Amino acid sequence: MTDDDRMAALFSEAASETPPPPRFDHDRVVATSRRITARRRSAVLGGAMALLVVTGVGVAVALPGSGGDASSTAAAPAAAAPEAASDAAEAQAESATAPDALRGPSEFTGTPLGPGTTECAQRQDPALRAYLEEVLPEVVGATESAVTMDCRPGGERGVSLEVVDAGTAGLLTVRYLPPGEGSGPTGETAPTASGGTVVVSSRGDGPGTPAPFAGRLADVAAYLAPRL
């Protein structure tokens, strides 16, 4: 037998043997693919939950292959917080500027100003003006009007301002008259805690013009009375 005959016999014998079965069939490939897909979904979901916990804001997570809409978490409370803070600040500001006269002048428990201590009446008394600005915040920063230079009794206090009330300009005057002094000028009057009288009046800029704060003068007098 030649070498060629021996080689041919070896090839023929190898071809006749049964080949070994493949290591990976179709079912095993499908199962392995499913395990890999499941691990990927778990990793994505875990990362999304960690982001939600750390940031505290709304997030959207779409799972691979889910075929559905992304699930979302809204951060409505965080968005509503600035609005609540703004509303609370506005309510506090309104409460701070609301006249005490609306809650009742009897709530004042401090010491009333009483008569002035200067030789002549203080026509632009800063203490009286401070109380006036509490009950009428609109006059804060108003210009002092000109006053006469005659010497009124030293126990008197006064404030005279050039004011504007919703477009109505004019003169607002407040006078405190100590005990025993006459009724003085006309206007809304009230007896004070020190036994004197407070008089609040206003007039427009010219003849026939409306007076500023005409509907609130009585409230101003009621507010000032326990403080004077």
Contact 135, 224 (CB under 8 A): yes
Q: What count of other Cβ atoms lies within 10 Å of the Cβ of residue 205?
A: 14
When pLDDT is cut at 50, 70 and 90, the band that residue 68 belongs to is very low
**Model confidence band, residue 177 (pLDDT cutoffs 50, 70, 90):** very high
Q: Determine how β-strand 197-204 pairs with β-strand 168-177.
A: antiparallel
Task: Compute CA distances 16 → 4, 9, 10, whole Å.
Answer: 19, 11, 10
The answer, yes or no, to whether residue 20 has pLDDT greater than 60, is: no
CA distance 128 to 110: 14
Q: What is the mean pLDDT of the chain?
A: 74
What pLDDT is recorded for position 155? 92
Alpha helix segments (H runs only) across 17-123: 26-55, 76-97
Sheet strand arrangement including 197-204: 143-144, 157-165, 168-177, 197-204, 188-191
User: pTM for this one?
Assistant: 0.54
> What is the CA angle 61-65-68, rounded to 5?
60
Instruction: Tell me the pLDDT tens digit for each residue of 178-203.
Output: 998 766 678 999 999 999 999 999 99
For 56, what's the count of Cα atoms within 13 Å in the CB-facing half-sphere? 3
Specify the pLDDT at position 73: 45
Sort residue 114 into left (φ over 0), alpha (ψ -120 to 50) or beta.
left
Q: How far apart are CA 27 and CA 46, in angstroms?
A: 29
Q: What is the mean pLDDT of residues 166-176?
A: 95
Can you give the pLDDT at residue 98?
Answer: 47
Which one is predicted more confidently, 32 or 192?
192
Is residue 189 within 8 Å of residue 197, measured between CB atoms?
yes
Rounded to 5°, angle at Cα 112 from 163 and 182: 70
SS3 at position 17: coil
Which of the two residues, 6 and 221, has the higher pLDDT score? Answer: 221
Highest mean pLDDT among 42-56, 86-100, 111-125: 111-125
Query: Sign of the CA dihedral 56, 60, 65, 67?
Result: positive
pLDDT band of residue 206 (cuts 50, 70, 90) is: confident
pLDDT band at 110 (very low <50, low <70, confident <90, very high): confident
Lookup result for tokens 């080949």: 19
